[in-house]
Structure formats: C-alpha cells, structure tokens
Amino acid sequence: MKIQRLFQKTLFGIFLLFGVIGVSTSVLCIYTVDTQLSEEYETNSKGIAKTIADASVDIILNRELSALQSLIDQFVEIQSISYIYITSDSGEFLAHTFVPGIPVEIMESDWRSTATVQRSLPGMGDYVEVGNPILAGIAGTVHIGMDTGLIALKIQRAIGQQIYLISTIFVFGVIAAIWLVNLAAKPVERLLAYAVEVARDEGTAPDAELLVRDDEAGQVARLFQYVAGVSDIPKPGHSLPDTHA
Amino acid sequence: MRKITRRDALRASIGACLIAPWSLSHLTVGKAAGLTDTKIVLGMSAAFSGPSRGLGIELYRGATAYFTHVNRTSGVNGRQIVLKTYDDGYQPNQSVENTVKLMLQDQVFALFGYVGTPTVTRVLPMLKKFQDEKMFLFFPFTGAQPQRQPPYGDFAFNLRASYRQETGGLVDNFVSIGRRRIAVFYQADAYGRSGWAGVRRALGQYGERIVGEATYRRGTKFTESMQRQVDILKAVKPEAIICIGAYAACAAFLRDAVNLGLRVPIANLSFVGSENLLKLIIEGQDDSRRYTDLLVNSQVVPSYEDVSNPGVREYRDLIQRYNPQPPRELIKEAYTPFSHSFASLEGFFNAKLMVEILQRLDNKPERGKLKSAVLSIKDFDLGVGEPVSFSLNRRQGLNRVYYTVVDEGRFVTLADWKGRFS
C-alpha cells in the first residue's frame, strides 16, 4: 500500500501517539495491578490470619490440637496460601502445614513477630508472610505464607490481559488510520495527476468527480482549471479558495 | 401457551422460599428416617479407594460379617440391618458430601463406621447442626479427641481406645526401656496432629519433648520416596520413632529408614492398617526381617490369632463363614482382602455392639432413644476380654491398648519390650 508522503508524517505521528499511550498505559497498569493485587493479597491474608487467630483461642485453651490442625487445613486449601503455622507463646509449633518438615529459616525466625516479611525458603520458593497474635499474643501467633510466585503469575496474567486489550485497540487503530489516510490521499493523488497534466499543457479536462468535491481538493482542482483556462467561471456556489483562510 | 410474566416468576420464587424449609425439615425429620418395619439403615462413609482403601474395606468386611450373621438369624427385633456405604477416598470434603447424602437423601437411622480423623472432624459440626434430629455417629475408626470431647463429644460414641492412650502407652514403654529421645513421623493433617499431640503430652509427663518431626501429605503412595523425612529425623538422633500415618506412607518410611541406616524402633498406631503395611514391606524382599525386627504397632483390639478370646473365635468363625466382600460399585482398584485383620476385627466388634444397642430400642426404635440405649450399656461382655460401659461422661467403650510385633511374617503380641528393643 503506497502512502502519500504528505501523510507519512501524520501516520507516523499516529503510531507515535498510540505507542506513547500504549506504553504509558501499560506501565501504569503494571504498577497499579501489581500494587493493588499485592496489597489485596496481603490484606486478605491478614484477614485470614485474624480469623484463624480468633477461632484458635478456644481450641488452644480448651480442645485438642487436631481441631486446630483441621482449622488451618481448611484455609490452606485457598489458592495462593502456601503455608500456615501456629506457634505457642513459648515458640512451640502447635500446628503447621509444612511437608516434609518445618524449614530451618522459620524455626529460627522470631515467632512473636507479626510484621509482614519476605521469605525465601530453599527448595520451596519465595513467600510473603503475614502474622496475627492470638489473644494479644499471650496464646500464640498465627503466620500465613503466600507464594509470591503464584501472586506474580496472577499479576502477570492480569497485566497480560490489559496489554492484550491495548494491543488489539492499537492494531485496529492503525488499520483504521491507514484506511482513513488512504481515503484522504486518493483525491490528492488525482489532483497531483491533474496538476502534472496542466503543467505539461496537455489541456486535459480534470476528473469530474474531483471537480464536484466541496473540500479543499475540489477547490484546488477548480482553481487549476481556472488557471489553465479550461473554465472561466468557477463552479456555481463555489468561490476561489481563500489563501488566507 | 401463556407467557410467564415477571410477576409469575416472583410469585413462584416466594412460594419456593416458603416451601423449602418445610421440605428440608420433612426430609430430615421424616417419620421413617432410615427405618421401616423390615429394616434399619445405617450410613457409612469410608475410604474404599486410594492409598488407604484397605482400612475402609477391612473395617466394612468385619462389620458386614456380623450384620450378615444377625440378618440371617433373627435380625434386630425382626428388622434387617442395611449398611448404606459411600466412598470418600479418605478425603474430608467428600466425607462431608457423603454425610449430607446419607442424612438427607438416604435418611439413615444413624451413622456408623466412618474412617479417619480428617474426615470425621469435618463431619462432627454437621451432627451438631442436626442435633435436633438426634443423628449420632457410632464407632468411628479414629482415636482422635474431637469426637471424645466438647463441643462435639455428645454426637459420637466410640468403642476403641484413643490415640492419646495409644501414643501414651508407646511412650511409657519406650521410656521404660530407656528410649527417651522420641521423634515423630506424621501425616500432615488432623490425624497426624492428634497423634503428635498425644506423644507430646505423654513425653511431657517425663519432662521430655519431641526431639524431631517429619511429615508427609495424606494420600502418599508406597512408591514415593521418604528420604527427606528420614534425613530430617536422622539428624536429631532419635532413640525411637512413633509414626502417625496410614499404611502406604508408613511402609515407605520404614523401608527408607532401614535402607538409609536409621536403625531404631519404629512404632505405628492402630489406624495404620498393620496387615497392609506388612504386605507392602515384605513383598519382594529377600530379607524382610531386616525391615520388621524393629517394628512395633499398637492395636486397640486383641490379636486375631488369640483364639483364647471368645470374641476373636466368633470373629474368625463368621468372617470365614460369610467371607464378605466390599461393595462392588465402590471398588475402583483391585484389592485382595486379608483372611483376618485388626481393622476387620475392630469392624466386627463395632457391629456387634451396634446390634446390641439397636436391640435395646425394643420394637419401636427411634433416634431419640439411641442415647439412652447406649448409656444403658454397663459392663457388657463383647467377648473382647474387657467389659464395655458407657455413661454421660464416658463416650468410649474400650480403653485397652495392645502392642504387636512381627514374628515369622505375622503380627504377634509383644510380651517383652526390653528383650525386643534393648
């Protein structure tokens, strides 16, 4: 497809504009999705940790630990939660979901801490861990580990969908721009061909379709006709183009 | 045909909402819930598939041997006992679904012979939810505490000794022979935690703590490696290991422990399924003694080899006479039943006591009378060598724990701990 040089810059401008919009939207989207999803996962996990902590009080004080294990087993079925462990006020692991055993990094960590921490557990992966005290910490602490790899995968998927949408709009936009530019370029091509004929003094009558146009191309065609002496009077209802307009 | 208008739809919805609670209530309270003039339906959800299927199948076979015998003689006050069974594959969610079916769809008279702690602990809240319907769970194949304690203890009756008693007995015996450094290998779920808690509690009485622990996922197969678990426990240099698991994983652990040089006594609880464990361990081994000479399993019923016991003689007679097979529609994988097993013997005693309870309901059985019928059991001779009693504060019939070791390829009662493991 041949694109008129006159419109090449316009088209380039459109590409550039789309590119800038696409890239900036994607960057903003990545940042927003990443931040918001990460925060959402962390908030949800904190909520789950609080729920477990509240439900654990009665079990720790009055019942057997198998009930506590049964409780955390139900929560660990939730996707993105990779492990849960509950420590007593003295740091003993009362219930956990680790297989084949409690990682050394976790055994050596501060069981009282409820701060959000990043953990890299050899042979397991990378996690974000949140905590919640049980009975203000005097009955123990609940810790929940979220798989950052899984969260990253979800974020990537969300971002991928956004980028896919932007790319689709970009492709359709470019096709539409080329089509519109070509539509605008056709009368200019005819006008150029007529101007060449006029310059060669071939005296050919201009394209009738071009002469009836009420846009700038039609006006210029009629002007050429007038200048070439083919017509004395411009088409009724049309005046010579105002060069100062 | 008249077009359905929005108003019609709204009217139908309101009508459905008004009728629904009545329908549910009708299903659950139903006059003939699992009970007709000719039959009493009991509901069982157990593992009939997966790596722990041997437990459900053996328990079912033992119970069915006795129920068949009763049905072929006089029945229970003229009624036949029907055991409606579903497979839960030892999965808690499936167990909950099966229980809903048994209670609402099949309208069973009572729940009987459930298998496993993670499954039963999920079902217990349902029994509390339906407490007005007086739905009870009888003799689950688990020694965990939740069905023995508030808030759910009122909805279940247990026959077997608890895991707390089994682990306590194992710890007592190990400590008595000077093995105080005890590690635990357990299933990462409520069952494992229940046993772990029992060991922790028992060691605490001696001022000791669990020296190390390793876990495995429920459903682990014998073919899987337990090397990592063995390495974890080897590092803490235990003097004995107590396993709280099912036979496939525990057999795999025993195999890898021996192969990797961890030569300490390895104990299993009754739930393990001793015959299935032994079968896996000795199959294809030239020197199977190497794997079994340090093995000790606790049991909650006497040895099926002990024919001095009248209950055992009756069991051997009836299981041989009827040779019950697992429900064909539930069997997805090939399984060859054992002629005798601890699980089927336990199922047999469960059924025998269940029949006694049902007989005490006389000719007008109602769920509402079940509790008083159970509580009327005092010093009942089940033929197990220990009288069975229930009371408001005692929801467990038997308390004795037996210890068995492998001699000449079969489980026999352990008489001398010191001689065996010192």
Contacts of A121 in chain B (CB under 8 A): none
Chain A partners of B232 at a C-beta cutoff of 8 Å? 100-101
- Quick one: DSSP state of residue B207? T
CA atoms of B87 and B53, how far apart (whole Å): 9
ipTM (interface pTM) = 0.83
Q: Is the pLDDT of residue B415 over 80?
A: yes
- Asked whether residue B20 is domain-assigned, the answer is no
Please report whether residue B52 resides in a domain. yes
Of A70, A100, A102, the CB nearest to B190: A70
Any chain B CB within 8 A of the CB of A66? Answer: yes
CB A151 within 8 A of CB A37: yes
Of the candidates B92, B197, B232, the beta carbon closest to that of A100 is on B232
Same domain, B292 and B309: no
Range with lowest mean pLDDT among A43-47, B9-13, B234-238: B9-13
Checking if the pLDDT of B338 tops 80, the result is yes
Any idea of the CA torsion for B203, B207, B208, B209, to the nearest 10 degrees?
A: 80
The confidence band for A108, taking pLDDT boundaries of 50, 70 and 90, is very high
Parallel, antiparallel, or unpaired: how do β-strands B266-268 and B240-244 relate?
parallel
Q: Do B321 and B352 have their domain in common?
A: yes
* Interface with A, mutate which of B95, B186, B193 (most A CBs under 10 A): B193
Diameter of chain A measured on Cα atoms: 109
Does residue A64 sit at the B interface (CB-CB below 8 Å)?
yes
Structural domain span for residue B216: 163-299+403-421
| pLDDT value of position B13 | 42
Which chain B residues are within 8 Å of A69, Cβ to Cβ? 189-190, 192-194
| Cβ count within 10 A of residue A75 | 18
Question: Per the CB < 8 Å rule, is A97 touching B213?
Answer: no
* B16 located within any domain: no
Min distance A68 CA to chain B CA atoms (Å): 8
Q: Is the pLDDT of residue B171 over 90?
A: yes
pLDDT above 70 (res B245): yes
Whether residue A32 has pLDDT greater than 70: yes
pLDDT higher than 70, residue B174 = yes
Q: Do A99 and B150 touch (CB under 8 A)?
A: no
In this structure, of A18-22, B105-109, B347-351, B366-370, the range with the lowest mean pLDDT score is: A18-22
* Residue B120, CA atoms < 13 Å, CB-side half-sphere: 32
pLDDT band at A23 (very low <50, low <70, confident <90, very high): confident
Residues B309 and B410 in one domain: no
The pLDDT assigned to B3 comes to 42
Comparison of pLDDT for B419 and A167, the residue scoring more:
B419
Angle at B216 between CA B251 and CA A63, to 5 degrees: 110
pLDDT at B112: 98
Of the candidates A62, A95, A100, the beta carbon closest to that of B214 is on A100
Same domain assignment for residues B193 and B325: no
- Mean of per-residue pLDDT scores for chain B: 91
Q: What is the pLDDT confidence band of residue A189, given thresholds at 50, 70 and 90?
A: confident
**H helical segments located in B52-189:** 53-72, 92-100, 117-129, 163-176
Same domain, B149 and B230: no
Rounded to an integer, the average pLDDT of A135-148 is: 93
Q: Which SS3 state, helix, strand or coil, does residue B403 take?
A: strand
The residue that leads in pLDDT, B45 or A158, is: B45
B149 shares its domain with B48: yes
Q: Mean pLDDT across the stretch B331-339? A: 91
* DSSP line for A65-125: HHHHHHHHHHHTTSTTEEEEEEE-TTS-EEEE--SSS--HHHHTS-TT--S-EEEEETTTE
What's the pLDDT at A103? 95
Mean pLDDT, chain A, integer: 84
Select the residue of A66, A100, A101 nearest B146 (Cβ to Cβ). A66
CA separation for the pair B351, B141 (Å, rounded): 12
d(CA B262, CA B227): 11
**Mind listing the domains of chain A with CATH numbers?**
5-155 (3.30.450.20)
pLDDT score, position A235? 52
pLDDT for res A162: 78
A107 in contact with B, Cβ within 8 Å:
no
Do B279 and B137 fall into the same domain? Answer: no
B302 SS3 class: coil
pLDDT, mean of residues B5-12:
45
Per-residue pLDDT at B16 = 40
Average pLDDT, stretch B117-145? 94
Residue B180: which CATH number? 3.40.50.2300
The answer to whether A82 and A147 are in contact (CB under 8 A) is yes
The predicted pLDDT at position B275 comes to 95
Percent of chain B with pLDDT over 90: 84
Out of B122, B149, B217, name the one closest to residue A64 (CB): B149
Residues B194, A97: C-beta atoms closer than 8 Å: no
Domains in chain B, number: 2
Rounded to a whole number of angstroms, the distance from the CA of B35 to the nearest CA of chain A is: 33
Confidence category of residue B67, pLDDT binned at 50, 70, 90:
very high
Cross-chain Cβ contact A67/B121 below 8 Å: yes
Closest chain B C-alpha to A41 CA, distance in angstroms: 25
